[in-house]
Chain A
Amino acid sequence: GEEVAQTPKHLVRGEGQKAKLYCAPIKGHSYVFWYQQVLKNEFKFLISFQNENVFDETGMPKERFSAKCLPNSPCSLEIQATKLEDSAVYFCASSHDRALYGYTFGSGTRLTVV
């Protein structure tokens, strides 16, 4: 399709629980990016993929966060043992190359840790 599909739209987890977020990029796009938006303001880059390979993971927290993009499956972002400060909206974006006109964001997953 022509949109980046993120599921679920909302996710509530108790502290210490696992959270898993999914992203289906636009068909034909080879790059996938994950961003975290806190307080509807700051965007923090987490990780990017070129197809199923990690392209840039400089923004990923060293602990508890992991991500995958496997062939024929939605990409995923997983947070083990969630903390209150993980509460944010997580956006996925995809691009067919590094050119910015192809950089399309999904609608995000709002994670609330209680």
Chain B
Amino acid sequence: GESVGLHLPTLSVQEGDNSIINCAYSNSASDYFIWYKQESGKGPQFIIDIRSNMDKRQGQRVTVLLNKTVKHLSLQIAATQPGDSAVYFCAEGTGTASKLTFGTGTRLQVTL
């Protein structure tokens, strides 16, 4: 197996509970933000995004909150399921460039 991600921050939650994953971003000029989910051996999978002119956006079981004052982003997952176990990354981008700057991942472990 892979001996990677040993130093990733880890969040352990029980199945059915809500999860909150936090991210601090660095660039005050960033105007969009995305949360990705990465499962072992796979590429990042888009979960939800938000533009800087919003402070909240909801999807199916997920909500992203943006606080531009303190440059903080959070991902809330409702009724966490075992299939939600993965590493979650926030990413930021600007309107003038397409590249994304990724934050440090957080490993979500869902216990039964």
Contact = CB atoms under 8 A, between A and B. Distances in A.
Nearest to B96: A98
A104 B87 contact: no
Given A39-B4, A39-B5, A40-B87, A98 B98 contact: yes
A45 B43 contact: no
Interface in B56-83: none
A74 B47 CA distance: 27
A25 interface: no
Contacts of A56: 97-99
A72 interface: no
A48 B99 contact: yes
Interface stretch (B11-19, B20-28, B101-109): B101-109
A41 B8 CA distance: 8
B43 A100 contact: no
A45 B101 contact: yes
Nearest to A97: B98
B49 A101 contact: yes
A59 B99 contact: yes
Contacts of A4: 43
A4 B87 CA distance: 20
A45 B99 contact: yes
B106 to A, nearest CB: 10
A22 interface: no
Nearest 5 pairs between A and B by C-beta? A105-B43, A40-B4, A43-B102, A45-B99, A40-B5
Given A40-B8, A100-B93, 11 more contacts: A40-B4, A41-B4, A41-B7, A43-B44, A45-B100, A48-B99, A55-B98, A93-B43, A98-B98, A103-B100, A108-B43
